[in-house]
Amino acid sequence: MKYFIKTFGCQQNYADSERIAVAFKNRGMTQTKDVKKANYIIINTCMVRESAENRVYGLVNNLAKLKIKNSKLKIIITGCMVGLAIRDKIGKYLKRLKEIMPQVDEFIPIEEVGFDFAPLRTDKISAWVQYQMAVITFVLIVLFHILAAAKSVDHMKKLLKNVKILKKKAIKI
C-alpha cells in the first residue's frame, strides 16, 4: 500500500505532513511521489487565503478522475480547512465541504493524525518542532495544578528529546 501527501500552507502544515507520513509508515505503507500509484491521497490544507481553498477544491476535482480508474483509492482531507469545519458547532461548513468535494472519503482533524510518533523528516537542513502541546499543558498546570503536572513533564520531555535529536543531526531549529 502506498500513500501520497500534498501540503498547502505554512511551515507548520509541512511539519504536520511529516507527522502524517510517519503515521502511515507505521501502518506498513510506503510513500510515493507519484499520485497515480497511491492507495491513499492525503491533502493537508490551509485556509489563510481563499486561493488556497480553491486550489484544494481543484486538486480534489482532478483526483476524482483517478478514483474512476481505481475504486479502492481513498482521498483524505486534513489541516486547517477540516479544523474549522469540525469546530463549527452547527455543522454547516463540514456539510458544505462534503457537497463541494463529494469525492473525499474522510475529513480528519489534524489533531487526530500522526502525533504519537516522531516526524518523518524530509529536510536535512532545518526542522519545525511542535511545541503547542507543551504550551497548552503549561496553561493547564496553572488551571489544574496536580492533574496536569505529570502530563506537562511528559510533553516537555518529548519536546526536549526532539530538539536533542535534531541537534545531533545538525538540523537548524
CATH of 2-112, one of 3.40.50.12160, 3.30.950.10, 3.40.50.12780, 3.40.50.300: 3.40.50.12160
Query: What's the pTM?
Result: 0.70
**Sign of the alpha-carbon dihedral angle for 23, 6, 80, 124:** positive
Please state the length of the chain: 173
Extract the C-alpha cell encoding 151. Answer: 502530563
Residue 25 CA to residue 8 CA, distance in Å, equals 21
Q: Which residue has the higher pLDDT, 134 or 74?
A: 74
CA distances from 17 to 5, 42, 51, 155 (A): 7, 9, 20, 20
CA distances from 83 to 51, 93, 104 (A): 18, 10, 16
- Residue 15 near residue 54 (C-beta atoms within 8 A): no
Residue extents of the structural domains in the chain:
2-112, 123-173
Residue 57 CA to residue 89 CA, distance in Å, equals 23
Binned at pLDDT 50, 70 and 90, residue 148 comes out as very low
User: DSSP for 84-104?
Assistant: HHHH-TT-HHHHHHHHH-TT-
pLDDT digits (tens, 9 = 90+) for 87-132: 888 889 999 999 999 999 999 988 777 666 666 666 666 665 555 5
Give the pLDDT score at 136.
Answer: 42
Whether residue 27 has pLDDT greater than 50: yes
